Amino acid sequence: MTWLPMTGTGTTEFARVFGLRPNLYEDYRAFVSVFRSLQPVNPVVLELCRLRVKQLLGEDVALHIADGARDANGLGREKLNVLERWREAKVFSAAERACLELTEKFVLNPHGITDEDAATVRAHFSDEETVAVLEALAIFDGFTRFRLILGIDPKEREE
Amino acid sequence: MAGRPRVEPPPARPGADAVAQSPLAHQPELLQAFLHLYGTLWSHGVVDHSSKEVARIRNARITDCGY
């Protein structure tokens, strides 16, 4: 449970904590809503990236994996079960592998991205999609850290 | 740090600021939503500007970001 007072309104700890700054929370939700409505990138790829970010930051993703299997069309349990060992797994497409490599660098070592890594991403994604993937990673990384540092219940479903 | 952008920005609109001339402009609707959020963070918050700027600069130093 979070160590901040949950005086905001909402059905989740995240909402009640973030709701301590209602204007900021409202703008955050609007930003996420634009992202969801545009679907600028294949949602399966983004869900893999989101869950991998959580794994890299040490969050227990078992429940989120169950959600992912239910929600993201085409994201089967087979991929989710081997996500932590994606480099050795044979089930991921080349585009998914490029994004997972980008995810690792984004979270752990942003200076480690090489021209070869970038070229691999660019081989599968347009400029528009590449920017969208990186914006999504910024949200996933930033708000996973936000949740972890504030001690927000890791089992609650994300909005 | 890469010496050049790995994604080139789209052609700039006249009068566009630095962020609007960056690769983020490839997703204009997302950029507008982000700028609105960022504007609220900076200009309509409860933490004083100098504290936020110190945090921003420290974050940039840790990540070796030139901004």
The predicted-structure confidence for A39-89, as pLDDT tens digits, reads as follows: 899 988 998 999 999 999 998 777 766 665 555 556 778 888 899 999 999
Q: What is the pTM of this model?
A: 0.89
CB-based burial, A81-117: b 16+ in 10 Å, e otherwise: eebeebeeeeebeebbbbbbbbbbbbbeeeeebeeeb
Residue B21 pLDDT greater than 60, yes or no? yes
- Interchain CB distance below 8 Å, A135 and B27: yes
Residues in chain A within 8 Å Cβ distance of B44: 23-24
The proportion of chain B whose per-residue pLDDT surpasses 70, expressed as a percent, equals 93
- Interchain CB distance below 8 Å, B30 and A31: yes
Place of tokens 């752990």: A108
Q: Which of A5-9, A19-23, A54-58, A129-133 has the lowest mean pLDDT?
A: A5-9
How many Å lie between the alpha carbon of A129 and the closest alpha carbon of chain B? 8
Residue B44 pLDDT greater than 60, yes or no? yes
Q: Which of B24, B50, B54, B23 is nearest to B37 (CA)?
A: B24
Size of chain A, expressed as the number of residues it contains: 159
Average pLDDT over every residue of B31-38:
92
The span from the CA of B60 to the CA of B9, in Å, is 22
φ/ψ (deg, to 5) at A115: -60, -35
Residues in chain B within 8 Å Cβ distance of A130: 7, 26
CB contact B52 to A (< 8 Å): no
**Is ipTM over 0.90?**
no
Tokens standing for A120?
């691999």
The span from the CA of A93 to the CA of A113, in Å, is 20
- Interchain CB distance below 8 Å, A21 and B64: no
3-class SS of residue A71: helix
CB contact B30 to A (< 8 Å): yes
Band (pLDDT 50/70/90 cuts) for residue A11 is confident
Q: Which of A87, A88, A85, A79 is nearest to A48 (CA)?
A: A79
Say what the pLDDT of residue A30 is. Answer: 95
Say what the pLDDT of residue A67 is. Answer: 60
Looking at this protein, which amino acid is placed at residue A28? Y
- Interchain CB distance below 8 Å, A23 and B40: yes
